[in-house]
């Protein structure tokens, strides 16, 4: 029967796997790391909070797509919390941690990754079902969206807790990995392969949606008298969503590949030399997402800007917007995700699109 080492500190496992920790993280180097980490984390907290507040505040965002987008921002906010905890429990501190504290450190990171990944997958399925079934709006009600969001976090928490629940090497130290000294190599292989497969599935789904939207847009462009900007609206939104997915894949794939190599016990891959850089790259994903939201969606940016400036004219501006001619309103709503299908399926003029909005609200 194998001996278990639940009462050992992490230095025992680091020494067992010959894993390297940066004991020289002191003085200037430590200050620089903490300063950059603090700046990025503060930006993550503030920017993603603005995205969530914008979805709550602006009634034009009260649709399933934007609720899921807000939940993605919540996942990035949670990632900021995970990085703060990591920042003060890494380097020379790593070897002094208890097993439970180290599990908590890694579990927070795994939970944030899973929450973002599953959320993107749900967005992909929601967009695919809406567009491929030729529906103007998603069939998802607020109750269903709430259930989906709760399910996303339940899955994320469970996946983050799997090693703590037993899939670890505390009772079989010969199976320990080097990057994660109390994780089994078999778990790292499972974890990295699962995420990479989901990446591939989402890329395929979004490429299929993008090709469908572009094909429909090109067909309708020769039969409608709509403006060029209206014809480009479906493609523009899909570019926004695909940019989010692309940033996620680019930022997380290198780290997952490194984990896979570690799980396969590749001793000649030099993974210890690159792990911190790939972790920083993963951190940048939570920084990039709110920038993508605001850059790609004019309505999102204007809402966030009004909140930043704390304008006292919000209420009067909302009252004035209700008296703007329907053509202007239709133009502004073209940037919103829930109007993709309206432009693709019906190819209607601006006034009819506005009536569709009223009917759906």
Is 178 among the domain residues?
yes
CATH classification of the domain holding 251: 1.20.1070.10
Is 205 among the domain residues?
yes
Is 212 among the domain residues?
yes
Is 274 among the domain residues?
yes
pLDDT in tens, the chain (361 residues): 567 888 888 888 888 876 655 544 555 666 777 787 888 889 999 999 999 999 998 888 888 888 988 999 999 999 999 999 988 888 778 888 999 999 999 999 999 999 999 998 888 887 777 777 655 456 778 888 999 999 999 999 999 999 999 899 898 888 888 888 899 999 999 999 999 999 888 888 888 877 777 777 676 665 555 544 444 555 566 677 778 888 888 888 888 888 888 888 877 777 777 777 787 888 888 888 888 877 777 788 888 888 878 644 454 455 454 444 433 333 333 444 433 344 433 433 333 344 344 344 3
Residue 322, exposed/middle/buried by CB under 10 A (0-12, 13-18, 19+)?
A: exposed
Per the CB < 8 A criterion, the answer to whether 71 and 149 are in contact is: yes
Is 329 among the domain residues?
no
Reading the block at residue 193, the tokens are: 């392969």
Helices (H), the chain: 10-17, 27-57, 64-87, 99-132, 142-165, 185-221, 228-263, 275-296, 298-309, 314-321, 326-333, 340-341, 350-360
Is 116 among the domain residues?
yes
C-alpha triplet 248, 285, 68: angle, nearest 5°: 65
Q: What is the pTM of this model?
A: 0.77
CB-based contacts of 248, cutoff 8 Å, min separation 6: 116, 117, 120, 285
Q: How far apart are the first and last CA of the chain?
A: 64
Q: Which of 294, 351, 340 is nearest to 131 (CA)?
A: 340
Give the total number of structural domains in the chain: 1
Which domain does 176 fall in, by range?
A: 10-222+234-309
Backbone φ and ψ of 9, nearest 5°: -90, 170
Model pLDDT, residue 87: 85
Reading the block at residue 178, the tokens are: 């080097």
Is 53 among the domain residues?
yes
């Amino acid at each position: 029967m194998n001996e278990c080492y639940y009462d050992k500190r992490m230095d025992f496992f680091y020494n067992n796997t010959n894993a390297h920790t940066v004991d020289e993280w002191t003085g200037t180097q430590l200050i620089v790391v903490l300063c950059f980490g603090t700046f990025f984390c503060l930006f993550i907290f503030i920017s993603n909070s603005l995205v969530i507040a914008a979805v709550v505040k602006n009634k034009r965002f009260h649709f399933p797509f934007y609720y899921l987008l807000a939940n993605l921002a919540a996942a990035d906010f949670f990632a900021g919390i995970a990085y703060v905890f990591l920042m003060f429990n890494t380097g020379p501190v790593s070897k002094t941690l208890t097993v439970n504290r180290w599990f908590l450190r890694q579990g927070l990171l795994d939970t944030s990754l899973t929450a973002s990944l599953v959320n993107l997958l749900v967005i992909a399925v929601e967009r695919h079902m809406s567009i491929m079934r030729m529906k103007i709006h998603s069939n998802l009600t607020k109750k269903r969206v709430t259930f989906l969001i709760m399910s996303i976090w339940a899955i994320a928490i469970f996946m983050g807790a799997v090693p703590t629940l037993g899939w670890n090497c505390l009772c079989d130290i010969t199976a320990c990995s080097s990057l994660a000294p109390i994780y089994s190599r078999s778990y790292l292989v499972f974890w990295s392969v699962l995420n990479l497969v989901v990446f591939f599935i989402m890329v395929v789904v979004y490429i299929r949606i993008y090709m469908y939207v572009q094909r429909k847009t090109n067909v309708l462009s020769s039969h409608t008298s709509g403006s060029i900007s209206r014809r480009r609206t479906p493609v523009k939104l899909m570019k926004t969503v695909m940019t989010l997915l692309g940033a996620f894949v680019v930022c997380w794939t290198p780290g997952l590949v490194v984990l896979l190599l570690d799980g396969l016990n590749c001793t000649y891959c030099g993974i210890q030399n690159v792990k911190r850089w790939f972790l920083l790259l993963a951190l940048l994903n939570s920084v990039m997402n709110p920038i993508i939201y605001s850059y790609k969606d004019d309505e999102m940016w204007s809402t966030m800007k009004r909140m930043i400036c704390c304008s006292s004219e919000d209420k009067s501006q909302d009252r004035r917007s209700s008296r703007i001619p329907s053509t202007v309103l239709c133009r502004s709503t073209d940037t919103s995700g829930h109007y993709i299908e309206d432009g693709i399926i019906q190819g209607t003029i601006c006034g009819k699109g506005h009536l569709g909005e009223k009917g759906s609200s």
